[in-house]
């Protein structure tokens, strides 16, 4: 009875604190300080949801654990006149079962929700509206827009490494490689590298994928918000890794079509494909067979 009443008294300040804390939450805090804003792609809210919910569960566990530690330290502290060891408790079966099962439930829960979300993000929805081949290279990006241009042979945009400047902006954003994507269209990205491991990362899309020599990885998503987003290499790939940047412009369909046409007009038809892979010692390449 007594502990029940004590618990009831505790709920009032806890609830009041929660109300104050949550009411003062900014959008950034509610999203767990993840970059970007809600609904940038069809996957970002799912990623943010998993992140924020996991943190809430972990904080609840943390507060309970810290509370119990502090409570035990105060309630069972050595009092005046006490000598020797306190009563030693062991083989307390209910407690042992409790602290085995609770972490098990937590780990299985985190695993299940992660697997569910990963499966949703990774699965191929099929019938992409645009398919873009991305090649990472030390230290820039080439973009091949497949099935576009005359005859559907594709158009391409070769990128250069970011240029450093002395100004307040440390790099020149005007010369960054740019990937154009039409808003509200199903996008498939085929991910390759021409040399070492890189990682294709669009920060606000909350997802990245390794670019592995001799392997093609895929990313599927639908951009839902027009805007310009920063992309970067997320796998240390050498001296100028930090300058391996690009921009993603999510635009309306007609602006996207204009951009594709501008590449056609510039004579950038076809694709910059495997011919430019510089690795000579990869399984399956000519070089390794003749060596």
Q: Is 50 in the site for Cu ion (CB under 5 A)?
A: no
Nearer to Cu ion, 141 or 220 (CB): 141
Nearer to Cu ion, 121 or 233 (CB): 233
Question: What 3-state class would DSSP assign to 91?
Answer: coil
Nearer to Cu ion, 136 or 223 (CB): 136
Structure tokens at 49: 């949801």
Q: What is the DSSP letter of 188?
A: E
Q: What is the DSSP letter of 69?
A: H
- Binding track, positions 237-256, relative to Cu ion; x by CB under 5 A: x------x------------
The rounded distance, in Å, linking the Cα atoms of 41 and 51 is 16
Interacting positions 186-225 with Cu ion (CB under 5 A): 198
Q: Are 178 and 228 in contact (CB under 8 A)?
A: no
Structure tokens at 130: 């645009």
Interacting positions 92-121 with Cu ion (CB under 5 A): none
Q: Is 130 in the site for Cu ion (CB under 5 A)?
A: no
Length of the chain: 291
What lies within 8 Å, CB to CB, of 224 at 6+ separation is: 39, 40, 41, 42, 183, 184
Using the rule CB under 5 A, give the single segment among 46-54, 82-90, 212-220, 235-243 that binds Cu ion: 235-243
Q: Is 232 in the site for Cu ion (CB under 5 A)?
A: no
The rounded distance, in Å, linking the Cα atoms of 160 and 140 is 5
Nearer to Cu ion, 130 or 233 (CB): 233
- Least distance between Cu ion and beta carbon 237 (Å): 3
Binding footprint of Cu ion on the chain (CB under 5 A): 198, 233, 237, 244
């Amino acid at each position: 009875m007594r502990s029940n009443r004590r618990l009831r008294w505790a709920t009032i300040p806890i609830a009041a604190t929660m109300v104050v804390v949550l009411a003062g939450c900014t959008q950034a805090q509610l999203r767990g300080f993840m970059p970007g804003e809600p609904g940038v792609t069809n996957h970002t809210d799912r990623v943010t949801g998993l992140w924020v919910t996991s943190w809430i569960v972990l904080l609840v566990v943390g507060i309970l654990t810290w509370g119990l530690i502090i409570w035990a330290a105060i309630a069972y502290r050595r009092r005046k006149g006490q000598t020797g060891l306190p009563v030693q408790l062991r083989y307390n079966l209910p407690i042992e079962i409790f602290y085995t099962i609770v972490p098990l439930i937590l780990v299985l829960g985190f695993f299940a929700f992660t697997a569910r979300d990963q499966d949703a993000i990774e699965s191929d929805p099929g019938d992409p509206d645009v398919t873009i081949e991305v090649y990472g290279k030390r230290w820039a990006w080439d973009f091949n827009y497949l099935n576009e241009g005359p005859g559907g042979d594709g158009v391409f945009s070769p990128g250069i490494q970011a240029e450093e400047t002395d100004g307040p902006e440390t790099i020149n954003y005007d010369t960054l490689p740019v990937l154009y994507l039409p808003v509200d269209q199903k996008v498939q990205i085929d991910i390759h590298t021409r040399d070492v491991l890189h990682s294709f990362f669009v920060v606000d899309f909350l997802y990245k994928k390794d670019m592995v020599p001799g392997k093609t990885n895929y990313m599927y998503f639908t951009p839902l918000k027009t805007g310009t987003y920063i992309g970067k290499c997320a796998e240390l790939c050498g001296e100028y890794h930090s300058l391996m940047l690009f921009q993603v412009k999510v635009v309306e369909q007609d602006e996207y079509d204009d951009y594709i046409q501008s590449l056609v007009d510039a004579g950038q038809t076809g694709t910059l494909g495997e011919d430019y892979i510089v690795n000579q010692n990869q399984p399956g390449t000519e070089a390794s067979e003749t060596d």
